[in-house]
Amino acid sequence: MTSLLLQDGHLNVVTTLPMAYSASAAPLIWVELNWFNIAPCARGAVDGVVIRVVNRAVYVVGDFEPGVLLTASNGSRLLVVSRRRELLPEYVEMLRVAEALADVRSTSLCRALLVGGEAPRPGDAVRPYEWPSGRGVYSPEGPVDLLRYSVTPHLSAVGMTGAGKTTLVKLLVEEAVKRGLRVVIFDVHGEYGDLAQRLGGYVGPPILPLCELTDQELLAVTGLLRVQSPIRMMRYLRFFVKAFCAMADKVGIQDIYAALQKAAETMLMLDVVNPSVKTLDGRDSLTAEFANALKEVAGGVLYNALKEMARRDEERVAAAVMYLLWAASASHATLRGGDVPQLYVVNLFDPSQLFMTSDVAIGVMSYMVRKMVERGQEAILVVEEAAKLMADEAMSRVIFLALAQTRKFSVRMVLVSQRPGEYVANTRIVAGRVRNSSWARELASIAPQMPTDVARLLPQLRRGEFIYIDDDVVPIRVSP
């Protein structure tokens, strides 16, 4: 077996035993009493040496784990993507006894990727790069600004639980808030509440501005997008919402959900409602107010037609208003949205309302994106568990549409997920440790910007280690 290693500042080749490494001195090899010098190398205490360079692939002899960033003697940066350990434990012990060495350990042939500077030459010494210890996101060139971009404004953060994704996104959000950008976070796990409180933001259920929703957004929040033929139900729902908003503007409402329930009852009994009913103090009752508002919105002829439809098509009318009541119960229903807080954390984690919350999230996300675009606001939209949410066809359509349209209007999306989804092909990528090699291969197949060698490395990364891909591959480190 042929092996290479550094001895007294020279690169040597042997054919009897594999290589070994002395922790107290330079690397050594036992070779039937013979050493064969093949090239001069950097002298002094080194951790490894470059033996071959092919384009951006650099082969290094040294005991380095995949994911380690190396700095070469010429100043270049090398990311170790794989290694082959060549010495079995019994050979290490044999060498230790034969050479009377106190401390011997095996070394490896490592394959590294050039990620910074000019390519090193064979014989250049390498050693692990010393990362900064302060809080932040760092590359070998210094702090990383993830808000800047070369190719696309959108960003995908991929990594298994414990990889450090949430820490990275929190640091990004803090920086965005400092710069005055608006940030909306769709939080599935309740991980951003403390950040919102610390930065003076809003955290709570989705805010549902009933009177500002478009027909498409109403279809989404009520779940009618999933109904095969929602046209008739949507017609009833649109009249219902318009009448309710007109009534609310006229009389003023303290408890919106209770008023919605009363209006829903009125809608279902429209053919028997008396619009002239008064309260004990002589005012129109809420039932009468809603009936009169509906008559004004629809007009006299159509109002009479609605009364007849409410009797003949009671099931669809009931379904339409019931879906809206469910949406209101799974959110914070308001008449109008008002100004979006600078930091707005939408809490989507409510087990009792899980199914309905997903529909509300679709509608509210559509609404938020639309309002940001209309107001020309530079903003960040963070979506947690994006791959899981996008398993829903309606949510997938909304997110893909947002990815395609918002880049023109200074709205950037940050899609966070454990497993990669097809959306990563349209974004920059920050990839941490993934669960297994199949997920890594999936990411490489989906994202053409992800080199295969780098994808293979992902399952071996440690917490806080990431690969950032914009127009180039950059190893980064996240320190909480």
Residues 204-248: tens digit of each pLDDT: 888 899 999 998 899 888 888 777 677 888 888 899 999 999 999
> Does residue 370 carry a pLDDT above 80?
yes
Q: Is the pLDDT of residue 99 over 80?
A: no
Residue 190 pLDDT greater than 90, yes or no: no
Q: At 3, is the pLDDT very low, low, confident or very high (cuts 50, 70, 90)? A: very low
Question: Residue 192 pLDDT more than 90?
Answer: yes
pLDDT value for 30: 37
Q: Does residue 279 have a pLDDT over 80?
A: no
Which percentage of the chain shows pLDDT scores above 90?
39
pLDDT value for 378: 86
Per-residue pLDDT at 25 exceeds 70: no
Res. 301: pLDDT tops 90: no
How much is the average pLDDT of 97-126? 79
pLDDT digits (tens, 9 = 90+) for 152-180: 899 999 999 999 999 999 999 999 999 99
Q: What is the mean pLDDT of residues 327-336?
A: 88
Domains annotated for the chain, with CATH where assigned, are 3-128 (2.40.30), 136-206+335-479 (3.40.50.300), 211-329 (no CATH)
**pLDDT mean over 113-132:** 92
What is the mean pLDDT of the segment spanning 359-385? 88
Question: Over 50: is that where the pLDDT of 16 sits?
Answer: no
- Greater model confidence, 247 or 353: 247
Out of 84-98, 205-219, 243-257, 309-323, least confident range: 84-98
Which pLDDT does position 88 carry in this prediction? Answer: 59
pLDDT of amino acid 285: 78
Q: What is the mean pLDDT of residues 358-382?
A: 87
Band (475; pLDDT cuts 50, 70, 90): very high
pLDDT tens-digit profile of 397-456? 889 988 988 878 889 999 999 988 899 998 999 999 999 999 999 999 998 888 888 999
Q: Tell me the three-class secondary structure of the chain, residue by residue.
A: CCEEEEECCEEEEECCCCCEEECCCCCECCCCCCCEEEEECCCCCCCEEEEEEECCEEEEEECCCCCCEEEECCCCEEEEEEEEECCCHHHHHHHHHHHCCCCEECCEEEEEEEEECCCCCCCCEEEECCCCCCCEEEECCEECCCCCCCCCCCEEEECCCCCCHHHHHHHHHHHHHHCCCEEEEEECCCCCHHHHHHCCCEEECCEEEHHHCCHHHHHHHHCHHHCCCCHHHHHHHHHHHHHHHHHHHHHCCCCHHHHHHHHHHHHHCCCCCCCCCECCCCCECHHHHHHHHHHHHHCHHHHHHHHHHHHHCHHHHHHHHHHHHHHHHCCEEECCCCCCCCEEEEECCCHHHHHHHHHHHHHHHHHHHHHHHHHCCCEEEEECCHHHHCCCHHHHHHHHHHHHHHHHHCEEEEEEECCCCHHHHHCEEEECCCCCHHHHHHHHHHCCCCCHHHHHHHHHCCCCEEEEECCCEEEEEEEC
Q: What is the pLDDT of residue 145?
A: 94
Residue 12 has pLDDT above 60, yes or no: no
